[in-house]
């Protein structure tokens, strides 16, 4: 007889409990679907958060580790002629070694793309008018302007010219193949961060991409013209006053080529000696400058300094070269430092991401640097169409057919925009407005630009990189066309030279100052100045050559020249030559110090006259201290001085108030600073000081006092009482912004010295984009350099902006130039200088803890999550709910990168530390520990809830099925085995490399590299 069963009978679920399951399923499904769908959508400019924060593909995958960076120190690729070795030194600079020019170009393309892929892609999209594809219709204005200006057409013509030289096109194709080889190693989860933020993907690189970027650089440096505004200015002032205030034809007082230079007898003198034809008749009303667009001209401050000093003036007896191109400051940096070596070439310097070769640098025998030539190589021609169809235009008494080029602009999320751009024999009709305003006249204007003409600068730089003598340099530059540049050159044999190189249009006197008549052959360019007759100076008696964007020649030069130098001051040129004339026994340290010179020669000349004109008894009492300090000022714009902010504002206000009432700042030009200083300050009672609309007569003194009062009120209202709050570095500051203006990816508020009129031409967002000093000794070249950025384009990399602080402090780093591949291997094995961002105090680590990388790669949290989710088979809606919670939790995985970025940016650390009362060192260290948070968050928000949901539903299923564990147990084990196999068999996708034995052999010429920085 069996014993009675004393267990309490298990109650079956009630009907009410059963009714909860569909409700839970519905709620869970709705929540899961909503979150998953929302996570995949873009909201305006915001990226899709699901892919962006995905633990598998999101932006945390862009956080480099020491392991990945060390792996990139030695890369071996298979070239056509042998192995291509890319060896990265302690400064994260790549050294590319190959057995042929083609393989060398392939290696350069691969190395550059590895560090700067997004930058290369973005700047080419900008050049070709394709930003709307990524950023939407807000970029249509930009893209339309690029297409109308014929940027793609110019690039296509450049490639056609390159195809005429087999070595040029082969180099371009090999470079493109190298870029694409690197792209092929990537997947969506390893694309550069900006692609994920902007919802884009890399474009396949072609030779046309390189040509487009070359044309973009040409546009940045020569794509401006004041023809329209000068035409309006002439209309207002008349020809006589225009000659006084805009003395274009007299040449420079401090030209690039020495005044005692003996010029040649021009072979083309008959073309330029005949009387010029009449200028274009003036319009009946002012020309509408709205047709020029929002940003018609490049930054007027684009320029540079360079100089070369002969051995007779140096301590070593070898020549010295210094160069610092002035461009918009941005991250990733404009320049990409690289070393290229193959049979016949061994060159180091600054390249441009997207172009093969080194642009500014040195090899075993020659060093060179560039500044912008500034010549007027773009003219606008008035086009008279026969009718509204624009099918024909007037020329020499007849009608010529118009050619049309169709430009298709793809717009993200919207229909394509199709442009039909009219082309004349002058060039594209880039400026036209359909309807003129009542007070403005509109002329259709065709663009004549040297950069539209076929040219092959790729071949020119390939030859320059391989030059051994000054003769080689001249031969290389003979084929160089655009943009016009001043090449300062030194050789190991002791020669120095300055070449004003590039295609110079041959013009009659005054041609191109105003809008030209597109219907007359007499208004067309007369040809090109022969290469041998372009301005050039070799080994001058004064012992140096220099340029600072001033006029290249004085009035004795046989050909007419004009350019942007006519609208800027020659102050930098005066100061450069002042220092070079006084120089003796010069050293590289002297060159670095000179590049940081912040003395303003204009202020030195002007301030005493300004102070002598002040009505001191009637000045505001609280301004007396300022006036006294101005009287003892050393005229240096240091970051700490408190006078620059007032002086700069005072001069700007004085010039504006002098010209207002006569000239319109929006449609005409103001005379440049040198004219204002020379002409007006020499004549205190000049009629130009007297405003025509007032009864009282204004003089220099009354203008100076009125401008002082206005400036005092403006500056003191904005910055408080005169004192430390007026410090130049704090008030002006310098921002190095991200190329796409992504917040947090730039460095802002740098307390810098200098102005546009000092040798150190640092401004708010503009300035020296690369500083280099080079020389030779008996062993070969030696060089130092710095730029506001770093080799990497990855904002999370320690090599993104390590040189911003040295650049700000005007220090330079030794450029490591190994003699051969063995020496480069030793450099690749040396300790990394930039393992920690130099903007953070030394010794502070911003890396994720090593264990976090291991856990992230293994994705361990998926095992309990997926195992628990097996129990969700019956209430299926909970599966979606758990998946949604995992999606939300993946937000936490982005925190390691966020913390790394925050720690890597000096401004954010400094400001947060100031607010919290904590040192930046302590705060930066704290960011490392913040890395622990996302992993805890992931577990709590995803793994744990998913597991609990799964186990709870599993228990419910057991309860409902009478305790049979088989379905859950089998499913759990199956899931576990699947996940384990998934992670143990998965191989990471990496670039194939071969282990290289480090060599202790180094170039004895660079034993001083261990000394660190040159102050």
Mean pLDDT, contiguous 10-residue spans, the chain (1015 residues)? 46 45 48 47 52 54 72 92 95 96 98 98 96 93 94 98 97 98 92 87 97 96 90 93 79 82 73 79 82 61 90 97 96 97 98 98 98 94 95 97 97 95 96 57 90 97 98 97 97 97 94 96 93 94 95 89 76 96 95 96 94 93 96 97 97 93 87 82 83 85 95 96 96 93 84 95 96 95 96 89 91 93 90 45 31 40 43 39 41 35 39 45 41 43 47 44 40 41 35 27 31 30
Tell me how far apart the alpha carbons of residues 111 and 168 are, in angstroms, rounded to a whole number: 20
Q: Which two tokens stand for residue 66?
A: 């020491």
pLDDT at residue 868, as a whole number: 42
Which helix (H) or strand (E) segment is 538 a member of? strand 536-538
Beta strand segments in 357-402, E: 360-363, 366-372, 378-382, 392-395, 398-401
Task: Say which residues have a Cβ less than 8 Å from residue 561's Cβ, sequence separation at least 6.
Answer: 251, 375, 504, 551, 552, 553
Task: Say which residues have a Cβ less than 8 Å from residue 638's Cβ, sequence separation at least 6.
Answer: 598, 644, 728, 729, 753
Q: Left, alpha or beta for 50 (phi > 0: left; psi -120 to 50: alpha)?
A: alpha
CB of 690 within 8 A of CB of 601? Answer: no
Tell me how far apart the alpha carbons of residues 496 and 373 are, in angstroms, rounded to a whole number: 18
Q: What single-letter DSSP state applies at residue 994?
A: -
pLDDT at residue 745, as a whole number: 82
Tell me how far apart the alpha carbons of residues 996 and 72 are, in angstroms, rounded to a whole number: 12
* pTM over 0.75, yes/no: yes
pLDDT at residue 303, as a whole number: 77
Task: Say which residues have a Cβ less than 8 Å from residue 124's Cβ, sequence separation at least 6.
Answer: 130, 203, 209, 212, 213, 216, 354
Q: Reply yes or no: is the peptide bond before residue 483 cis, omega within 30 of 0.
A: yes
Of residues 457, 465, 488, the one with CA closest to residue 365: 465
pLDDT at residue 914, as a whole number: 46
Tell me how far apart the alpha carbons of residues 85 and 81 are, in angstroms, rounded to a whole number: 12
pLDDT at residue 269, as a whole number: 61
> For the chain, what is the radius of gyration of the CA atoms?
33
Burial class, 701, CB count within 10 angstroms (exposed 0-12 / middle 13-18 / buried 19+): middle
pLDDT at residue 410, as a whole number: 96
């Amino acid at each position: 007889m069996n014993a009675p069963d004393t267990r309490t009978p298990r109650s079956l679920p009630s009907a009410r409990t059963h009714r909860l399951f569909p409700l839970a399923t519905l709620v869970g499904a709705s929540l899961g679907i909503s979150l998953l769908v929302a996570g995949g959508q873009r909201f305006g400019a915001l990226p899709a958060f699901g892919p962006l924060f995905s633990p598998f593909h999101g932006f945390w995958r862009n956080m480099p580790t020491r392991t990945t960076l060390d792996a990139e120190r030695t890369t071996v690729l298979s070239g056509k002629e042998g192995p291509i070795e890319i060896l990265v030194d302690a400064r994260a600079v790549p050294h590319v070694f190959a057995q042929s020019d083609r393989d060398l170009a392939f290696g350069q393309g691969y190395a550059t793309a590895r560090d700067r892929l997004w930058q290369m892609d973005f700047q080419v999209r900008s050049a070709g008018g394709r930003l709307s594809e990524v950023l939407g219709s807000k970029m249509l204005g930009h893209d339309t302007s690029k297409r109308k200006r014929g940027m793609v057409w110019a690039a296509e013509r450049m490639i056609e010219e390159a195809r005429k030289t087999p070595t040029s096109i082969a180099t371009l194709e090999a470079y493109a193949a190298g870029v694409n080889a690197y792209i092929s190693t990537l997947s969506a989860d390893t694309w550069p961060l900006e692609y994920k933020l902007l919802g884009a993907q890399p474009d396949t690189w072609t030779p046309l991409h390189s040509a487009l970027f070359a044309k973009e650089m040409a546009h940045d440096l020569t794509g401006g013209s004041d023809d329209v505004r000068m035409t309006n200015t002439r209309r207002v002032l008349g020809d006589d006053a225009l000659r006084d205030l805009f003395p274009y034809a007299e040449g420079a007082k401090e030209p690039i080529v020495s005044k005692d230079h003996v010029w040649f007898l021009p072979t083309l003198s008959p073309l330029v000696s005949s009387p010029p034809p009449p200028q274009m008749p003036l319009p009946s009303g002012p020309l509408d400058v709205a047709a020029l667009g929002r940003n018609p001209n490049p930054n007027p401050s684009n320029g540079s300094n360079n100089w070369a000093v002969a051995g007779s003036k140096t301590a070593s007896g070898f020549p010295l070269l210094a160069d610092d191109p002035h461009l918009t400051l941005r991250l990733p940096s404009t320049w990409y430092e690289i070393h290229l070596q193959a049979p016949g070439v061994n060159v180091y310097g600054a390249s441009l991401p997207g172009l093969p070769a080194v642009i500014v640098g040195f090899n075993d025998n020659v060093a060179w640097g560039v500044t912008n030539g500034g010549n007027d190589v773009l003219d606008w021609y008035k086009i008279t169409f026969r009718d509204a169809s624009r099918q024909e235009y007037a020329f020499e008494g007849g009608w010529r057919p118009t050619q049309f080029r169709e430009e298709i602009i793809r717009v993200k999320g919207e229909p394509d925009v199709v442009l039909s751009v009219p082309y004349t024999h002058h060039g594209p009709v880039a400026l036209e407005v359909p309807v003129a305003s009542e007070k403005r006249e509109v002329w259709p204007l065709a663009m004549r630009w040297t950069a539209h003409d076929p040219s092959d600068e790729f071949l020119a730089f390939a030859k320059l990189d391989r030059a051994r003598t000054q003769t080689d340099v001249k031969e290389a530059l003979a084929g160089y066309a655009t943009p016009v540049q001043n090449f300062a050159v030194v050789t190991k044999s002791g020669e120095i030279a300055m070449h004003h190189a590039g295609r110079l249009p041959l013009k009659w006197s005054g041609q191109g100052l105003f809008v030209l008549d597109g219907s007359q052959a007499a208004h067309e360019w007369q040809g090109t100045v022969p290469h041998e007759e372009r301005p050039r100076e070799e080994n001058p008696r004064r012992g140096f050559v220099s340029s600072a964007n001033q006029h290249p020649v004085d009035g004795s030069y046989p050909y007419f020249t004009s350019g942007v130098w006519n609208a800027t001051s020659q102050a930098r040129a005066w100061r450069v030559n002042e220092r070079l004339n006084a120089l003796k026994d010069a050293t590289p340290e002297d060159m670095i110090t000179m590049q940081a010179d912040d003395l303003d020669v204009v202020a030195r000349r002007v301030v005493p006259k300004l102070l002598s004109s002040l009505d001191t008894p009637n000045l505001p009492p609280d301004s007396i201290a300022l006036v006294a300090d101005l009287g003892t000022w050393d005229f240096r714009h240091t970051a700490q001085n408190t006078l620059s902010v007032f002086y700069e504002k005072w001069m700007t206000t004085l010039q504006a108030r002098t010209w207002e009432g006569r000239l319109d700042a929006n449609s005409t030009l103001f005379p440049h600073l040198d004219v204002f200083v020379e002409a007006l300050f020499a004549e205190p009672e000049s009629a130009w000081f007297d405003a025509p609309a007032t009864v009282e007569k204004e003089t220099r003194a009354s203008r100076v006092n009125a401008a002082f009062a206005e400036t005092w009120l403006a500056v003191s209202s904005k910055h408080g009482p005169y004192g430390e709050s007026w410090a130049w570095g704090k008030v002006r500051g310098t921002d190095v912004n991200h190329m796409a203006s992504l917040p947090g990816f730039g460095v802002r508020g740098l307390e810098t010295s200098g102005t546009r009129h000092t040798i150190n031409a640092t401004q708010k967002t503009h300035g020296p984009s690369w500083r280099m000093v080079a020389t030779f000794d008996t062993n070969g070249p030696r060089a130092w350099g710095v730029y506001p950025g770093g080799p990497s384009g990855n904002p999370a990399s320690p090599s993104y902006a390590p040189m911003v602080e040295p650049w700000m402090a005007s220090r330079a780093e030794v450029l490591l130039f190994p003699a051969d591949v063995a020496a480069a291997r030793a450099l690749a094995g040396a300790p990394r200088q930039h393992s920690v961002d130099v903007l953070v105090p030394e010794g502070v680590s911003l890396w994720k803890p090593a264990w976090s990388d291991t856990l992230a790669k293994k994705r361990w949290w998926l095992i309990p999550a997926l195992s628990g989710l097996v129990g969700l088979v019956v209430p299926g809606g909970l599966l979606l709910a758990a998946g949604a919670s995992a999606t939300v939790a993946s937000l936490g995985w982005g925190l390691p990168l966020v913390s790394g970025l925050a720690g890597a940016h000096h401004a954010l650390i400094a400001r947060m530390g100031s607010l919290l009362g904590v040192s930046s060192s302590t705060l930066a260290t704290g960011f490392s520990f913040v890395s622990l948070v996302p992993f805890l968050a992931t577990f709590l928000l995803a793994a744990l809830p998913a597991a609990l949901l799964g186990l709870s539903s599993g228990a419910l299923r057991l309860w409902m099925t009478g305790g049979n564990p088989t379905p859950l147990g089998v499913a759990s084990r199956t899931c576990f085995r699947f996940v384990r196999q998934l992670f143990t068999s998965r191989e990471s996708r990496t670039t194939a490399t071969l282990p290289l034995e480090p060599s202790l052999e180094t170039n004895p010429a660079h034993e001083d590299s261990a000394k660190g920085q040159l102050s």
